[in-house]
Amino acid sequence: MEAQGLPAALALVASSGAGLSPEKRAALAVSLPLLQRDYRFERVWFWGCIQGVRGAYYIAEGLGRDRAAPRRRLYSLNCLDWSLLTAASREKVAQARQLKGRFRGDPSFQYNLADTNAGAAEALLEGGLEPVIREETRLLATIEEIDKAVGIVPRGAFVKTPLGSVHENRHFEGLSLVEAKKLCSYFHFTEPVNLKNKTLLEKANLDPATDFLDSLEHDIPHGKGSWSVQVEKGGTAVVLRSLLWLGLTFYHVPMTKQYGYIYFGTGEKNTDLPFML
């Protein structure tokens, strides 16, 4: 969610149990604008918090002019001092996603890969490398996985130019209340998968400028089984909660430009969801 509108956004998702102490809010109000200035980001989003055993990671994302470009992610242990999460190789990220259990809350903590993937650990040993993964790498892999799976935006909030870049739609004035209650009105803000498999007939009624992402209605397990949609605040706000990544909450105020999502959880995927439906 936008750093500038953080207090109002937290009030809209408070029913999910997401929140920050007054001290943390004050710290973010000071540090996030400085973060945007120092790294020369066009926008800074406060992504949320992953709670570990010994401490919590507060996450921020920096965006450039092209919203579809890779984001730069940073974490903080106190909402004041921020560290950049450096990109890792695909192999490391894939291995980090196999790790289970709670985060420790210590960025320097090292997981022994032999506990989860003996084959990969043996291959690293043969190459003269230690079979360990730092918690920083696991943190980056988890954030990317959550963004890819449940990072969403309203339909029409972004437009794709003929050159392929993605920008905020200045003419977007929000969804109507009727449309805001439909899963088909929300898109995954990541590289589309289902859209590429649609036939030309299915794409005939789509606007390539706005319908260039995958809709939530095609999520697996079936859309309504992956999301909880509720109208709150006396019908003035629509809140979507992910049942796959418990702790991810999206909000939208119909007929306004106010929308966003935030994550407050342990960074663990709800793998039991298919058996709960």
Per the structure, the complete domain to which residue 199 belongs is given by 150-270
pLDDT for position 271? 86
pLDDT for position 157? 94
pLDDT for position 202? 66
In a domain, 232, yes or no: yes
pLDDT for position 200? 65
In a domain, 228, yes or no: yes
pLDDT for position 129? 63
In a domain, 208, yes or no: yes
Record the pTM.
0.89
pLDDT for position 194? 78
pLDDT tens by residue, 8-53: 888 888 887 778 999 999 999 999 999 999 999 999 999 999 999 9
In a domain, 130, yes or no: no
Low pLDDT (below 70) residues in the chain = 116-121, 123-129, 199-204, 222-224, 277
Query: How many domains in the chain?
Result: 1
In a domain, 257, yes or no: yes
In a domain, 1, yes or no: no
Nearest in space to 158 (alpha carbons), one of 63, 47, 262, 35: 63
In a domain, 31, yes or no: no
In a domain, 211, yes or no: yes
pLDDT for position 241? 95
